[in-house]
Structures are given as C-alpha cells and as structure tokens.
Amino acid sequence: MKDLFIYNSLSGKKEKFKPIKEGLVGMYVCGPTVYSNVHLGNVRTFMSFDMVFRYLKHLGYKVRYVRNITDAGHLEDDADSGEDRIAKKAHLEKIEPMEVVQRYTVDFHQTLNNFNFLPPSIEPRATGHIIEQIETIKEIIKNGFAYEVNGSVYFDVIKFNETKNYGKLSKRKIEDLIHNTRNLDGQSDKKNPQDFALWKKAEQHHIMRWPSPWSNGFPGWHLECTAMSTKYLGENFDIHGGGMDLKFPHHECEIAQSEASHGKSPVNVWMHANMLTLNGQKMAKSTGNFILPNDFFTGNSKHLSKKFSSSVVRFFILQAHYRSVLDFSNTALLASEKGYNKLMEAINILPSLKKSDETIGMNVKLWIKDCYKAMNDDFNSPILIAELFKLVKFINQIKDGSAFVSSDDLNLINLHLKEFVFDILGLKNDTFSDTKFEGKLKETVQLLIAMRNEARENKDFKLSDKIRDRLLNIGIQLNDGKEGTTFTIENK
C-alpha cells in the first residue's frame, strides 16, 4: 500500500502523512455555530472531513475525531458593540438561547444523518467547557500574552509576534494586518485592532454568561477550539480541519492561543475545505445566497427543478476535490444524478454476472491500485469516482458478453467496489432493481412483464407500449436485454 499524502495548509505542500503515535490519529474539525439551519455549503465542509475520517479508518487507523458544537455564541459584529448571535436569535424568536441551540443542534444532526455521515468520536460543546477555557486564558495571561481591561481579556498579538509568528498559517504579515485593519469608530478596550478577545464582560442584555476571575461574561470565539482540542487530543495532534473561511483569523488565533498557553504548535497538518458557491458566490447565511439540505428532499426551491436524494447530492459534492471551489447548479446536479444511477445500477447487477475461466477486458488488481492511488493523493475523490466508472464500463461489458471476469476477480471487485462506494465515499444505494428487490412488488412487475411480452408476441404493440409507458410513468423502467426483461425502480 502506498503512503497517504495530505495537503498541509501550513506548508502549502502535499506531505506524507505520519501520525504522532503509530496507528492512532487525532483529528479536530471546527463544527457549526448552532444559531440557524446548516446550509449545503456547511454540509460540504463536514462531508469532506467525513470522507477523510472514513478513509483513515479504512486504512486501519484508530481515529479520534472531535467536532465541536459552538453554542456559546459569537459576537455579531465588531467585538465591542456586538450582540451574541445566539442571544440575538433567541430574542427574535422569544425563546431561551439554549432552546435555539437545542433546535439547531437537532437539525444539524438530522441533516448529517440524512447525508449518511459517521458520527464523530467526541462532539464537545463550548458551553460545557467554560472552565477549560478560563484555565487556558489564565495560562496565556501568566505567560504574558494577554491583558485585562474592564473585565475583558484580550490576546496581545503584537507582543506574541515579538517572539512567535502570528500569520504563519494564512501567510499574512503583521505589518500588512496593521496597515489594513479598519479603524473602528467605537471605543475599544483593545490596545491594538489586531488583538482579539479571550474573555468578554457581558453587557446588561447578554443572557449567556458565566463567572470568571475577570467578570461575568463569556469566552472569545477562538478559544473554545483551543481548549477542547487540547483537552481531547493533547497539546499537539495530527489533523485540524475546517472551512477555508476559518483559516484567518480563526485558525491563526488558535495557533497563537496554543503557543501562548503551552508553547507548542498545536497541529501537524492543517486541512481546509473549499467553498461551495451558488451563482458563483460563496453560500452564506448573511447574504441569503444559500440552499438548505431540506430543499433537495422537497424540491421546493427556485434553484431546483425537482427532488434529489441525499446520496445524489453527496455524489455531486464528492465529484469535486475538497480543495476546489465547487459551483452548485441544477444542471450539474442532474448530470450527477444520472451518473450516480449508472454507478448504482452496475452494483445492482454484480450478483447476476456470469463468471468465466479468466478475466478479459480489465486488469482488476491494477484498478484497485489506481483507486487507492487516487485516495492516497490528498483524498482525490473525483479521480476515485472516475476509476469507479471505468469499472462500471467493465461490468456492463461483462453483462453484454463483450468482456469476461474470473471468479477470483469478481470477488475482488465485489469487495473493493463496495468498500470504495459505501465505506469510503459514504454513499447509500437509493436505487431499486429487480436483483435487489424481493417480494410482492417484484412478482407484480414480473407479471406485467409477462403480459407485455405476450402482447408483443401477438403484435399488440399498442398494449405492450401502454404497459411499458405506464410503468415508466410510475417510475419503473423496463430494460429489454438478450436474456429477457429486467426492471429498475426509481427512488421516490
């Protein structure tokens, strides 16, 4: 088996992956802020890391995958005047902040479940780790990289940069940052605009608040990830992932917080998933340019012509590399749906394939190697899918009698195809064909097929076509082949 290479945002290169402890992988991914429904762009990021998690497990690693839930609320706008987003939403809907958090946490889990995500090993919540966050702040203050003003604590970026490197992840120079930071009108407690809050004193209206040595308040929004990743994965762990838009300042600040509190660079490999765009623009709740997962299941959206299954959407997303921008469109999704159906149909007919003495038409062992090669090259799922379609072609050729497969090779295909499609890509088979369908429906359709064939023999094509077309309308497609007629049932 070849080595796994992962693109590391820190170095800007693909690096051979070597876990800190052999056989074990610690991976942290920034989860959602649960103040509204996750949109498809959010889903894409988490799906990328779901695939990473699946593949690492497949390779035999024991993975501790930590993905947090941000339920403490971030600030709405500029650090000193903002209202907590969760509190703001609660105010609008006249419900408790934790009620908002609960509602959207449940929605988040249901959505990911729909898309066949594996649950992370640990899903810690920010509000459950206030003590750890306070302890981290104490460490940073003790080491001289933070200061307290009016009950709030800020990270001293300039001071930090004197001995460490602030900006090494996002490749920013602190001089440029100083130069380009807007001057805030409001009265700020910060020494410098680049400084960020570790602890904020709560204003009167702020409902979410906890006691601390500095004030009744709440933690700064970069802090929870540092506190929780350190708690569950240690001061130095293997992989940290998140959306590209979190690279700066969020991840940059995480590095600074870790280095300021315990002196170590927290993460070996930083991975960033790219944006999903709609109309060429990043999906974002704030601009209204987004599509919700639920829209696919109802089909009720100006962006969609019909319903789509979650597997089709998953397939669509994985057809692009996680580090590329992917533009969403109905046309692209329709194309993916056809491709997905073709792939599943090939899997469905696998059990009915005829075995031969030898394999002609494909080098199965080489194919398996190529599939791993694709995934080992920075989780290149589009290439893996391209390889899968080469196999699909081979399977169809066997069915048509223009290619042949040995019993051993067919076993290999069976094993590996299913591993790649279901275990690694995490797709589900939403299609139904007669080979996987049993029971009364199958018998009924077979009866209709027999009646149609009778009509055809009697040259009653009006009746035979009526049966065929009516079935197609219902979503059952008849496939006339050399060995007789089979059928496929469309999902939904």
Site for RNA in 282-311 (CB under 7 A): 282-286
Q: Name the minimum Å distance from CB 469 to RNA.
A: 9
Q: Name the minimum Å distance from CB 295 to RNA.
A: 15
Choose, by CB under 7 A, the member of 134, 255, 326, 476 that binds RNA: 326
**Cβ pair 346, 387 in contact under 8 A:** no
> What b/e readout covers 150-189, taking b as 16+ CB neighbours within 10 angstroms?
ebbbbbbbebbbeebebbebbebebeebeeeeeeeeeebb
* Segment contacting RNA by CB under 7 A, of 50-58, 98-106, 117-125, 326-334: 326-334
Nearest to 291 by CA among 40, 113, 27: 40
Q: Name the minimum Å distance from CB 72 to RNA.
A: 11
Nearer to RNA, 96 or 175 (CB): 175
Query: Is 363 an interacting residue with respect to RNA (CB under 7 A)?
Result: no
Query: Is 280 an interacting residue with respect to RNA (CB under 7 A)?
Result: yes
Nearer to RNA, 118 or 386 (CB): 386
Nearer to RNA, 27 or 246 (CB): 246
Structure tokens belonging to residue 205: 């209206």
* Segment contacting RNA by CB under 7 A, of 205-213, 238-246, 292-300, 406-414: 238-246
Q: Is 212 helix (H, G, I), strand (E, B) or coil?
A: coil
Q: What contacts 378, CB < 8 A, 6 or more positions away?
A: 5, 6, 7, 14, 321, 323
Q: Name the minimum Å distance from CB 98 to RNA.
A: 18
- The number of CA neighbours under 13 Å toward the Cβ of 161 is 17
**Cβ pair 345, 431 in contact under 8 A:** yes
- How far apart, in whole angstroms, are the C-alpha atoms of residue 308 and residue 492? 9
Residues 414-443 that bind RNA (CB under 7 A): none
Nearer to RNA, 19 or 228 (CB): 228
Nearest to 246 by CA among 7, 6, 42, 34: 42
* Segment contacting RNA by CB under 7 A, of 56-64, 113-121, 336-344, 412-420: 336-344
CA distances from 18 to 33, 67, 239, 266, 335 (A): 31, 21, 10, 15, 38
* Segment contacting RNA by CB under 7 A, of 36-44, 105-113, 140-148, 440-448: 36-44
Nearer to RNA, 277 or 435 (CB): 277
DSSP 326-347: EEE-HHHHHHHHHHHHHHHHHH
* Segment contacting RNA by CB under 7 A, of 137-145, 153-161, 237-245, 304-312: 237-245
* Unique residue bearing structure tokens 């350190």: 230
Q: In what order do the strands lie in the sheet with 267-273?
A: 62-67, 24-29, 237-243, 267-273
Nearer to RNA, 19 or 40 (CB): 40
Residues 100-139 that bind RNA (CB under 7 A): none
Angle at 257 between CA 251 and CA 262, to 5 degrees: 130
Residues 16-35 that bind RNA (CB under 7 A): 30-33
Alpha helices by DSSP H, listed for 152-269, are 157-163, 174-180, 223-233, 252-262
Choose, by CB under 7 A, the member of 64, 85, 240, 262 that binds RNA: 85
Determine what percent of the chain falls in helix, strand and coil, rounding each to the nearest 5: 45, 20, 35
Residues 163-202, one symbol each (x = binds RNA by CB under 7 A, - = not), give -------xxx---xx-xxxx----------x--x------
β-bridge partners, 14: 7
Residues 246-275 that bind RNA (CB under 7 A): 246-250, 273, 275
Q: Name the minimum Å distance from CB 19 to RNA.
A: 23
Query: Is 454 an interacting residue with respect to RNA (CB under 7 A)?
Result: no
Q: What contacts 7, CB < 8 A, 6 or more positions away?
A: 13, 14, 15, 271, 323, 378
Query: Is 324 an interacting residue with respect to RNA (CB under 7 A)?
Result: yes
- Residue 366 has a CB neighbour count (10 Å cut-off) of 10
Q: Name the minimum Å distance from CB 187 to RNA.
A: 17
Structure tokens belonging to residue 170: 């996002």
Q: Is 423 helix (H, G, I), strand (E, B) or coil?
A: helix
Choose, by CB under 7 A, the member of 385, 427, 449, 476 that binds RNA: 385
Choose, by CB under 7 A, the member of 135, 245, 419, 423 that binds RNA: 245
Residues 61-80 that bind RNA (CB under 7 A): 74-79
Q: Name the minimum Å distance from CB 62 to RNA.
A: 25
Nearer to RNA, 143 or 383 (CB): 383
* Segment contacting RNA by CB under 7 A, of 230-238, 351-359, 396-404, 421-429: 396-404
Query: Is 480 an interacting residue with respect to RNA (CB under 7 A)?
Result: yes
